[in-house]
Amino acid sequence: MGTSIVVHEIPRCDLSDEYGSVCSEAAYADAYSPKFGQWAYLCKYHFDDHGCRLGTGLGQQLLTEEAVGDPQFDPETEDLYQTWAAFMRDNGEEASREEFEAIAGGLL
């Protein structure tokens, strides 16, 4: 078992916020949440918020067949993208893949 699994479709985050409304962000990983005491699909925000980790017996990052099949695909870049997108959303900004690639293209 590695730190990622390939799935046909990315599920939604299983969690709810403190007011009980469902998160519904795209899940970042299927991971064990120490805060929750069980496994769940978690978006990047909740993954970090719950102190989850990737690894055998801890959690696996969810990747789509599409992403993995892309010759440009790089798990590290994907991780960067997820972090960036979560940060942008936290600040109420749109986070598009195209925009990320435009920024990342100059950095990577």
Given 4, 25, 32, 82, the residue binding Zn ion (CB under 5 A): 25
Helix (H, G, I), strand (E, B) or coil at 60: strand
Nearer to Zn ion, 13 or 29 (CB): 13
**Residue 50 binding Zn ion, by CB under 5 A:** no
- Smallest separation, CB 84 to Zn ion (Å): 16
Does residue 13 belong to the site contacting Zn ion (CB under 5 A)?
yes
Kind of pairing between the strands at 4-7 and 38-42? unpaired
Q: What share of the chain is helix, strand, coil (3-state, %, to 5)?
A: 35, 25, 40
Q: Which residue has the tokens 């009980």?
A: 20
Residues found near Zn ion in the complex (CB under 5 A) = 13, 15, 23, 25, 43, 46
